[in-house]
Amino acid sequence: MIDIKFLRENPELVKENIKKKFQDNKLELVDEVIALDAESRKAKQEADDLRASRNKISKEIGALMAQGKKEEAEAKKAEVAAGAKRLLELEEKEKELEEKVTKIMMVIPNIIDPTVPIGKDDSENVEITKYGEPVVPDFEVPYHTEIMEKFNGIDLDSARKVAGNGFYYLMGDIARLHSAVISYARDFMIDRGFTYCVPPFMIRSNVVTGVMSFAEMDAMMYKIEGEDLYLIGTSEHSMIGKFIDTIIPEETLPQTLTSYSPCFRKEKGAHGLEERGVYRIHQFEKQEMIVVCKPEESPMWFEKLWQNTVDLFRSLDIPVRTIECCSGDLADLKVKSYDVEAWSPRQKKYFEVGSCSNLGDAQARRLKIRVNGESGKYFAHTLNNTVVAPPRMLIAFLENNLQADGSVRIPEVLQPYMGGKKEIR
């Protein structure tokens, strides 16, 4: 959510930003919110004037009563009573207008970084850099579930009976590999100076609307019936929510946290061959990283965050590339975003395994996360990035470490988490 003062002073810039995101249906919202804001400020000014007048008249009533001028004092009291009625009307109007302004401001997209490429959708995202040499082996690489089934490592049929499509049982060495990757990712981030955290796996609605857009919320979140609680789609939600309505001493920044959690997603619209197996599912586990920092430091932290994911995948001998999301592919709160994609030897192409985002002060403004600095209070900047999400990581890992005899090589850094195993058979 952008600053209402910024919108008020730069309406054409906000409209141009909306056009860059190909959301022309929202252009009229800028003029609408400006009109409502003007009406709100007018009501507030009248209310403030009435309060000042009431205070002045109250003093006059006291003086008149002291002089024995009861009749004149009663007339003044009637004047105060009339003003009180109008003041109540104005306070109700203020509240109503403020709610309308906030509702509209929540759907006007954040101002994107000037370096973001302009494009309508993910087909116009831009490749930044490749890391590692993509390899296509001289033997056939089976679909990832087939690899897992050869190790008796996955049971989709039982999961379908128990919970429906989009769920799975992992077993044996595959389940152990899943946990090993999570544990390795945890220690990898701790070694990079991040504080490890296990957050709440459910959050209240005010946190949900603070960290994401309404469109994302509808597409992703599962609500707990009868409770003001939602299952998290990523631990970023509860990790950023940790700072809700706080004033952070500037000297304690940056706050750098890495968190483990299960994640729950509706995944509306998932379909097609590559949506089978464990590629796009309703429940998975993930290691996440978030940063809360000074505004001037967020570009630097953005670069550090996505590089962490690249380094982790490269330590597991998985080739990756970074893709910059174009304007039309950015969620409304995001200023800038990179996707990290892993190489798939089977598909002979890259696929998304993580996303790094700088949200500027959008989340902080919604959640009232402020910093107390030398020159006063200001809104913090927030960033998040996927360290690793094992379902997709497992696909990349199995395909890139599969050997001709059907065994899977375990990279050296992961062997301590697999009981010293160098391969699974």
**Residues 296-308: pLDDT tens digits?**
999 999 999 999 9
Residue 117 located in a structural domain: no
Residue 115 located in a structural domain: no
pLDDT at 275: 52
Query: If pLDDT is split at 50, 70 and 90, which confidence band does 259 have?
Result: very high
* 39 touches 97 (CB < 8 A): yes
Residue 116 located in a structural domain: no
pLDDT at 350: 96
Query: If pLDDT is split at 50, 70 and 90, which confidence band does 71 have?
Result: confident
Residue 111 located in a structural domain: no
**Domain co-membership, 241 together with 92:** no
**Domain co-membership, 146 together with 85:** no
Max Cα separation, the chain? 107
Question: Which of the listed residues 105, 140, 165 is the one where a domain comes to its end?
Answer: 105
Q: Which residues pair with 376 in a beta bridge?
A: 373
**Domain co-membership, 74 together with 166:** no
Domain that includes residue 359, residue range: 122-424
Query: If pLDDT is split at 50, 70 and 90, which confidence band does 213 have?
Result: confident
pLDDT at 62: 76
Question: Which of the listed residues 47, 72, 105 is the one where a domain comes to its end?
Answer: 105
Query: If pLDDT is split at 50, 70 and 90, which confidence band does 15 have?
Result: very high
Residue 404 clears pLDDT 80, i.e. is over it:
yes
Query: If pLDDT is split at 50, 70 and 90, which confidence band does 268 have?
Result: low
Residue 243 clears pLDDT 70, i.e. is over it:
yes
Residue 273 clears pLDDT 50, i.e. is over it:
no
Residue 166 located in a structural domain: yes
For residues 392 and 327, which has the higher predicted lDDT (pLDDT)?
327
Query: If pLDDT is split at 50, 70 and 90, which confidence band does 274 have?
Result: very low
The letter for the amino acid at 91 is: E
CATH of the domain at 308: 3.30.930.10
Structure tokens at 60: 């006059």
* Percent of the chain residues past pLDDT 90, beyond the cut: 80
Residue 88 clears pLDDT 60, i.e. is over it:
yes
Query: If pLDDT is split at 50, 70 and 90, which confidence band does 276 have?
Result: low
Lowest mean per-residue pLDDT among 113-117, 208-212, 359-363: 208-212
Average pLDDT on 121-133 reads 96
Q: Residue 336 belongs to what H/E stretch?
A: strand 336-344
Lowest mean per-residue pLDDT among 67-71, 221-225, 369-373: 67-71
Question: Which of the listed residues 105, 131, 154 is the one where a domain comes to its end?
Answer: 105
* Percent of the chain residues past pLDDT 70, beyond the cut: 97
**Domain co-membership, 210 together with 330:** yes
Nearest to 177 by CA among 390, 413, 400: 390
Residue 110 located in a structural domain: no
CATH of the domain at 67: 1.10.287.40
**Domain co-membership, 52 together with 13:** yes
Q: Say if residue 254 is preceded by a cis peptide, omega within 30 of 0.
A: yes
**Domain co-membership, 146 together with 56:** no
Query: Residue 188 phi/psi, 5° resolution?
Result: -60, -45
Average pLDDT across the chain, whole number: 92
**Domain co-membership, 38 together with 147:** no
Lowest mean per-residue pLDDT among 85-94, 310-319, 379-388: 85-94
**Domain co-membership, 71 together with 188:** no
User: pTM for this structure?
Assistant: 0.89
**Domain co-membership, 226 together with 251:** yes
Strands (DSSP E) contained in 85-228 are 126-131, 154-155, 169-170, 195-197, 202-203, 222-223
For residues 53 and 353, which has the higher predicted lDDT (pLDDT)?
353
Residue 270 clears pLDDT 70, i.e. is over it:
no
Nearest to 2 by CA among 29, 42, 40, 38: 29
Residue 112 clears pLDDT 90, i.e. is over it:
yes
Residue 53 located in a structural domain: yes
Residue 104 clears pLDDT 90, i.e. is over it:
yes
* Cα(326)–Cα(328) distance, integer angstroms: 6
**Domain co-membership, 71 together with 212:** no
Residue 99 clears pLDDT 60, i.e. is over it:
yes
**Domain co-membership, 251 together with 277:** yes
**Domain co-membership, 20 together with 101:** yes
